Amino acid sequence: MSDLDEMTQRVEAVIQKGVIAPMNMLLVELGEDAGLSQETRYALQQKLRIAITHRDRHAREAKEESEHVRSEQLTRGGKIL
């Protein structure tokens, strides 16, 4: 398996897990990988950046939604229960 194939599989696997910390670690590792061309490293890093951004945005939206639902549950008819 080539370095490109291995790194592509690692990027896909870490994106599937959806955990930001390993994605960030892989971003750093990609930046230091001399076995890949600059264009390839950039493309894989960009894929990770997009996944991190989407993950962060979805987490923020879910938090806002849960806060909204909680607020509606605590407030009925304009009164705090």
Cβ neighbours around 15 below 10 Å, total: 19
What b/e string do you get for 39-53 counting C-beta neighbours within 10 Å, with b at 16 or more?
Answer: ebbeebbebbeebbe
User: Do 23 and 14 contact (CB within 8 A), yes or no?
Assistant: yes
What are the tens digits of pLDDT across the range 18-51? 888 999 999 999 999 888 999 999 999 999 999 9
**Model-level pTM?**
0.68
Model confidence at 4: pLDDT above 80: yes
- Which residue has tokens 């894989």? 44
Separation between Cα atoms, residue 45 and residue 48, nearest integer Å: 5
What are the tens digits of pLDDT across the range 47-74? 999 999 888 776 777 777 888 777 777 7
Q: How confident is the model at residue 81 (pLDDT cuts 50, 70, 90)?
A: low
